[in-house]
Amino acid sequence: MAKTGRPKSDNPKNNLFGLKLTDEEATKLREYASKHGMSITEMLQRGIELQYEMDKTSK
């Protein structure tokens, strides 16, 4: 019998973070993500990678 459901990921996302933002920060985050066709999660992940790369190149 075939398995049902989503296939298992090779790199599962098991970590969950909470984030507190001001109303202004939340608005900026939503507007930027919407303007660039990204989800808030995608935008934050991209920001983490950009920050990490900037840090690596500045050393």
pLDDT digits (tens, 9 = 90+) for 22-59: 999 999 999 999 999 999 999 999 999 999 999 988 87
Tell me whether residue 10 is in a domain. Answer: no
CB atoms within 10 A of CB 48: 10
pLDDT at 5: 86
The number of domains in the chain is 1
pLDDT at 59: 74
Residue range(s) defining the domain that contains residue 39 = 23-57
Tell me whether residue 6 is in a domain. Answer: no
Tokens of 6: 């989503």
Tell me whether residue 12 is in a domain. Answer: no
Tell me whether residue 3 is in a domain. Answer: no
Q: Give the CA dihedral 52, 39, 41, 57, nearest 10 degrees.
A: 0
Higher per-residue pLDDT: 4 or 26: 26
Q: Classify the C-alpha dihedral 26-32-35-37 as positive or negative.
A: negative
Phi, psi of 8 (to 5 degrees): -70, 140
Higher per-residue pLDDT: 10 or 4: 10
CB atoms within 10 A of CB 19: 9
pTM value?
Answer: 0.72
Tell me whether residue 28 is in a domain. Answer: yes
